[in-house]
Structure 1
C-alpha cells in the first residue's frame, strides 16, 4: 500500500506500474486515513498519475476518513486540469460537502466577490446551494456583501433565492438589511 501511495505522491509512474502489475496491491488500497493513491495524486496535481490510476480502475468516489473524494482534493488545491479529468472520466462523481469545507469555500468566495473562484467551484460540481455553519448559502453572502455579479451567477447556477438561513432570512432580506440595492 505504502509503495503505491509513495509512487503517487512522488509522481513516479514506473513505480506505480510495478506496484500495480505485481498484483499485490489493489489500486484502491488506502492508508490509515483512508486516502488512496488517487486521493494523493489528485491532491498533488499529478495529471498523468491520475490518468494512470483511473485507467487501472481507481475509484473516484472513494472517501477518506474526512469524507473527501479525490475530486474534493483536486478542487481544494486548485488543480483544475486534474479536476476536469476526474469529472470527465467519472461523470457521476460529486464534490462532497461533508464537514462543510466546500460550502465554506463557496461562501467565502461569494462574500469576497471572487467570481472566478465561484465559477471554478460550480464547474467542479460544488453546489450553488452550498451552505456555511449558519445555513447561509453563497447567495446570502453575495447579497449581504453587495456582490451583484456573483449573485447573478449563483442564481443562474440554480441557487434558491428564497432559501432561509438559520435565522429565517432570505438573500433578499440580507440585501435589503445591508442597503445593497444593486443586488435586489
Structure 2
C-alpha cells in the first residue's frame, strides 16, 4: 500500500501569512526558491494586504529574494491596505538595489498611496538621494511636482526633514522652489520651522526668498539675544 501526501503550500496562518511570507521574512533565498518552484502563489496577501514582495522591500538588508519573486511573475505593483506598493516601501527604507529591480520590472514610480504620497515622497522624507535620483530618471522628471493629500511636493518633504542633499538634487532637476502646500507654506517655510539651517541656506541661495520665514528667523534671533 502506498500513500501520497500533499501539502497545501498556500495555507495561511491566523494573520494570513503564508509560508512564503515567513521564508521571505527569514531571509532564506533557497527556501523561497524551493517554494516558488513548487508552484506557490507569490501574490498571496497577509492581513496587512502585503505580498511577499512587500516584505522583501522592508527587509533589514538588500538580498536576492526580490529577484526570485520578480522571476516568478509576482505582481510588482500590488498594493497593501495603505495602498502602498513594494516600491513605496523600498523607497522609504532606502533600498536602492531593490528600487532598481522593481523599476526595471515596470514598477510604477508615480503610484500614490492612500495619502497621495509617491515613492519619491518617501525617499525624500528619508533623505535617500540615490533613490530620488533613480525615481526622477524613471519618470523623466515628471514626478517633481506630484503632491500628496497635504499638497506637499517632494521638495517640501525634503526641506521639512532637513535633507539638504535631496533638496539640492530636486532644485537642480527643476523643482519649483516657491510651491505652496495646503497651508500656503513653501519649502523655505518648512525648512525654517524645522530649524534646518543648511536647507534654509540652500533655498535662499537658489532664490527662494520669502518674507515670512526670514522675519521668523529674525524674531528667533532677537528672542535669544534678549534672553541671555
Is the pair's TM-score, using the shorter chain for normalization, greater than 0.5?
yes
Structure 2: distance between partners of 1:74 and 1:145: 18
Residue aligning to 2:86: 70
Cross-structure match for 2:44 = 29
Matched, 1:10 2:26: yes
- Flag the 1:35–1:139 CA change in 2: closer, same or farther, 3 A: closer
**Quick check: 1:19 aligned with 2:20?**
no
Q: For residue 114 of structure 1, what is the aligned residue in structure 2?
A: none
CA contact (8 A) 1:8 1:16 kept: yes
Larger RCO, structures 1/2 (Cα 8 Å, 6+ apart):
1
* Distance change >3 Å, CA 124–CA 71, structure 1 → 2: farther
In structure 1, what is the equivalent of residue 73 of structure 2?
57
Q: Displacement of 1:62 after TM fit?
A: 0.7
Counterpart selection for 1:128 from 139, 144, 156: 144
Q: Is there any run of 5+ residues in structure 1 with no aligned partner, and where?
A: 110-116
1: CA distance, partners of 2:22 / 2:101: 22
CA gap 1:7/1:36 in 2 versus in 1, 3 angstroms? same
Question: 1:158 deviation in Å?
Answer: 3.5
Specify every segment of 5 or more residues in structure 2 that has no aligned partner in the other structure, as ranges.
1-9, 11-17, 137-142, 190-207, 216-228
Between Structure 1 and Structure 2, whose CA radius of gyration is higher?
2
Q: Does 1:87 align with 2:100?
A: no
CA distance in 1, matches of 2:88, 2:128: 15
- Give the C-alpha shift of residue 33 in structure 1: 1.7
Q: Does 1:47 align with 2:63?
A: yes
Aligned residues: 170
Give the Cα–Cα distance (whole angstroms) in 1 for the partners of residues 46 and 165 of structure 2. Answer: 43
Task: State yes or no: 1:175 paired with 2:197.
Answer: no
Q: CA RMSD in A?
A: 3.5
